[in-house]
Amino acid sequence: MTTGSIAPGGSVLFVDDERSVRLAGQQALELAGFDVTACDGAERALRHLGRDWPGALVTDVRMPQIDGLELMERALALDPELPVILITGHGDVPMAVEAMRRGAYDFLEKPFPSDRLVEVTRRAVEKRRLVLENRRLRDQLAGLPAGETSPIVGRTPGIERLRGAIAAVADTDADVLVLGETGTGKEMVARALHAGSGRRKHPFVALNCGAMPEAIFESELFGHEAGAFTGAGKRRVGRIEHASGGTLFLDEIESMPLSLQVKLLRVIQERVVEPLGSNELIPVDLRVVAATKVDLRKAASEGKFREDLYYRLNVVVVTIPPLRDRRDDIPLLFQHFVLQAAARYNREPRAPSPAQVQRLAAHDWPGNVRELRNAADRFVLGLDDALSAVGGAAPAMAAGRSGLSLAEQVDLFEKSLIESELARCKGSVKAAIEALNIPRKTFYDKLKRYGLSREDFVE
């Protein structure tokens, strides 16, 4: 391949000791858009391979000193998920089939047409790309605090501020009020606060105030003694008492009946709970995290929420930005949810097309992260039409609703693709340029335009 040319197809290591075969294979793959490194033996090939090598290995089997099978064994020892394609003679087919059982991706029997080599290699390189992307996301999950299963994924300033706020107050006993629209992940933030605190080994008790029938609300929250009311045959420990030692999460707290808000205020102020039918105050050691999607101050001024409870809760406030205000995070979040859904449904994860990514970035997402997660589930299940119809409109129409012009959409999409590739390539400019198929100068111009730096992606 000539210097400065672009390889949109991906990287390939082609190994064959016969010069004519090596040159023919290299030429065929380069014409198809691959970045090919040709080697005349296994020793040289092994210098290029490693756990993060972003391509496929194509190797002849019959070679002096180290043959293709031993090269495959050494390559798979470096990374068991590296795709290895074997080139075999006619009599080697049974051996190649056995090699596939031992981890080879595929094999080509000589003589083979160039388009067959290109087809098999393209599938192998695409699989490698997905493996590395999924590995990166798994590494991100592995870096979470113990017990946290729903990471706060994103790189936008709003999410960085959210992570900073959580880190600042997590390992304290301060009660927290979480503000956010429906579907932004308020319980996820509450769990992150719990996981980052000294209470992580004790219960995390969640109660959705909006889903609790008022008739049983008081008993469910405060508990009751036997005989406290008709049907109360035995003592019941309420959610507050059960959360002692840990964290009590009250979602949609604006839905809590006014009559119970005064009792909750006493719990928060005095850290005691009085079950129904009891005159005994039970001490509780807990942290309260409340969440709401409404303006509690406005609700208090309208008499819909107790003003004293509002001011008691409004001490440490954590705000979650809606998805439409952090559109740059949408591609990464979608990939994260695709990985989760693929594991849940036992499906092979795959990547959305550029057109699908553009449509995702342009949509308003009124249901926020929850809606995006559902879209990822449908995508993994093969319902691609669901992505094509996101929002029930084409991207330009979605832009009209969100206030984004066509030029802004294009910039947003372009920036997200560059960020994704730099993250996937761990800051390697050369690899990102090849993947995006753009000239080097253009790439650097766009980094400057979008305020990006490769150093932010180097691990």
The answer to whether residue 140 sits within a structural domain is: no
Q: Of 292, 390, 293, 291, nearest to 334 (Cα)? A: 390
Please report whether residue 369 resides in a domain: yes
In a domain, 70, yes or no: yes
Could you say which of 269, 304, 321 is where a domain stops?
321
90 and 224: one domain? no
**Beta-bridge partner residues of 287:** 247
Q: Are residues 260 and 210 in the same domain?
A: yes
Is the residue at 193 inside a domain? Answer: yes
pLDDT of residue 385: 64
Helix, strand or coil, per DSSP, at residue 318 = strand
- Same structural domain for residues 23 and 126? yes
Contact 380, 414 (CB under 8 A): no
- Is 268 in the same domain as 394? no
Range with lowest mean pLDDT among 179-183, 211-215, 372-376: 211-215
Report which residue type is found at 126: E
pLDDT of residue 369: 94
Say what the pLDDT of residue 337 is. Answer: 86
Mean residue pLDDT across the chain? 83
CATH code where residue 111 lies? 3.40.50.2300
The residue out of 284, 302, 321 marking a domain boundary is: 321
Contact (Cβ atoms closer than 8 angstroms) between residue 165 and residue 317: no
Residue 400, pLDDT score: 39
User: What are the DSSP E strand ranges found in 284-356?
Assistant: 287-292, 316-319
Which of 135-139, 185-189, 407-411 is most confident?
A: 185-189
Is there a single domain that holds both residue 95 and residue 184?
A: no
| Of 248, 333, 241, nearest in space to 289 by CA | 248
Query: What letter does residue 451 receive in the DSSP assignment?
Result: T
Q: Is the pLDDT of residue 303 over 90?
A: yes
**Average pLDDT score over residue span 234-256:** 93
**Phi, psi for residue 106 in degrees, rounded to 5:** -165, 175
Confirm whether 218 is domain-assigned.
yes
Residue found under tokens 């005095």 = 270
User: What are the b/e assignments for 189-201, b being 16+ CB within 10 Å?
Assistant: bbbbbbbbbebbe
- Number of structural domains in the chain: 3
Residues 437 and 316 in one domain: no
Given this model, what pLDDT does residue 9 score?
Answer: 61
Q: Indicate the pLDDT class of residue 384, thresholds 50, 70 and 90.
A: low
Mean pLDDT of 184-211: 93
pLDDT at 368: 95
The alpha carbon of residue 227 and the mean position of all alpha carbons in its chain are separated, in whole angstroms, by 50
pLDDT at 7: 42
Same domain, 308 and 329: no
In a domain, 5, yes or no: no
Q: Are residues 31 and 46 in the same domain?
A: yes
413 with 339, same domain: the answer is: yes
CATH code at position 426: 1.10.8.60
- Residue 439 structural domain: 324-457
- Integer-rounded Cα Rg, in Å, for the chain is 29
Q: What confidence tens digit (pLDDT) does each residue in 334-358 have?
A: 878 887 888 888 887 777 776 788 7
pLDDT at 406 over 60: no
Same domain as 224, residue 77: no
Q: Is the same domain home to 316 and 372?
A: no
Which string of b and e fits 342-367 if b means at least 16 CB within 10 Å?
A: beeeeeebebbeeebbbbbbbbbbeb
pLDDT at residue 53 greater than cutoff 90: no
Handedness of CA 430, 433, 435, 439 (dihedral sign): negative
Token duo for residue 54: 């972003």
333 and 294 inside one domain: no
User: What pLDDT does 393 receive?
Assistant: 39
Given a cut of 70, is residue 148 above it in pLDDT?
no
**Does any domain span residue 59?**
yes
Among residues 283, 299, 321, which one ends one of the domains? Answer: 321
Residue 2 within a domain: no
The pTM of the full predicted model, rounded to 2 decimals, is 0.59
Query: Which CATH number do you get for residue 177?
Result: 3.40.50.300
Question: Over 80: is that where the pLDDT of 294 sits?
Answer: yes
